[in-house]
Structure 1
Amino acid sequence: MGMSTKIVVVLRQDLEPALAANAGVVLGLALGGRLEDSLAADGKDAGGGAHAGLNPHPVPTLVASGEQLRRLKAGADERGLTVVGFNEVARRSRDYAEYLDALAATGPQDVEYVGVAVLGPRGDVNRLTGKLALMR
């Protein structure tokens, strides 16, 4: 039986590989920090080596345009899903205090998303992301 919830990470399609990797990590950490009991049990390999538990959800990484990311974030917010948006204001800031100050001076229409991570009921997440392409 499949999971009733789904996690998807969607990155802006024009990101260079290093920026895409960074955005994926930032989104994963931020989303993971909002989840309780999100890790599966630790495991051991055949030699007894320890392996930290992972998130049990498959996490497809998709790509979208900046406008599609804006619509995805809005749609996830409207549905009450758990959503994390990583934006250019954050990406360009040198520390978190600078980010918060810059964000406070940025109009909502000027927030440009680098990526969005969404968690929610499988059907809702699929409706929002089902037509997006896998990252290649």
Structure 2
Amino acid sequence: MSTEALSTEARTAPDTPTARFDTKIAVLLREDLAPWQRLNATAFLVSGLGAAVPEVIGEPYADADGTAYLPMFRQPVLVFQGTRQTLTTALDRALSRALPRAVFTADLFATGNDHDNRAAVGAVPKDALDLVGLAVYGPRNAVDKVLKGARMHP
């Protein structure tokens, strides 16, 4: 695990559950989504961060038998929820801070492929997006400011 984004506390004990990172990966979901929609949007949103921000990905895994597994995020993903307005405000804050971000709109629940997903988002101006999810990555304090008003997902 890279120690670049770890706080001093985490550098002294990187394998403890209390390790704290200087960065944060967060997903904000609209509070009125069905459970399957929450899961689907979360999976799509974090895949965007993993693809665009390679430093969030850790090393590959292997079990005791030597079976190889794909790498995953090197730090926890925190999931929040909020209102439609909370999402809109969070997106504006993420944009003003130039943080890496991914969006998921309600239209994407009706599409079945990447091309149609991009077309659905591309057909709507930013201020008219029907946001149901946002993923953001960056310095912990900046992400906290983006998520102000959101609450942890139950």
**Could you say whether these structures have the same fold, taking a TM-score greater than 0.5 normalized by the shorter chain as the test?**
yes
Aligned to 1:112: 130
For residues 21-76 of structure 1, give each alpha carbon's deviation from its aligned partner in whole angstroms, at most 9, with x where no partner exists: 10001101112110124321223333444333221121111101111101101100
Aligned to 2:62: 44
Identity among equivalent positions (%) equals 26
Aligned to 2:106: 88
Identify if the C-alpha distance between structure 1 residues 55 and 107 changes in structure 2 by more than 3 Å, giving closer, same or farther. closer
Identify if the C-alpha distance between structure 1 residues 94 and 4 changes in structure 2 by more than 3 Å, giving closer, same or farther. same
Q: Which range moved further: 121-130 or 8-17?
A: 121-130
Q: Which range moved further: 86-95 or 96-105?
A: 96-105
Partner SS for 1:33: helix
Distance apart, 1:12 and its partner CA: 0.7
Q: 1:122 aligns with which of 140, 144, 147?
A: 140
Partner SS for 1:77: helix
Asked if the contact 1:89/1:111 (under 8 Å) is kept, the reply is: no
Identify if the C-alpha distance between structure 1 residues 99 and 59 changes in structure 2 by more than 3 Å, giving closer, same or farther. closer
TM-score by length of 2: 0.77
Unaligned runs of 5+ in 2: 1-7, 9-19
Letter in 1 for 2:38: A
Identify if the C-alpha distance between structure 1 residues 9 and 38 changes in structure 2 by more than 3 Å, giving closer, same or farther. same
Partner SS for 2:32: coil
Partner Cα distance (1:40, 1:91) in 2 = 30
Unaligned runs of 5+ in 1: none
Asked if the contact 1:84/1:116 (under 8 Å) is kept, the reply is: yes
Q: What is the root-mean-square deviation in Å for CA atoms of aligned residues? A: 2.0
For residues 92-134 of structure 1, give each alpha carbon's deviation from its aligned partner in whole angstroms, at most 9, with x where no partner exists: 3344444444444434332111100000111101122254221
Q: 2:74 aligns with which of 56, 60, 71?
A: 56
Identify if the C-alpha distance between structure 1 residues 97 and 122 changes in structure 2 by more than 3 Å, giving closer, same or farther. same
Partner Cα distance (2:120, 2:73) in 1 = 32
Q: Which has the higher contact order (CA 8 A, sep 6+)?
A: 1
Count matched residues. 136
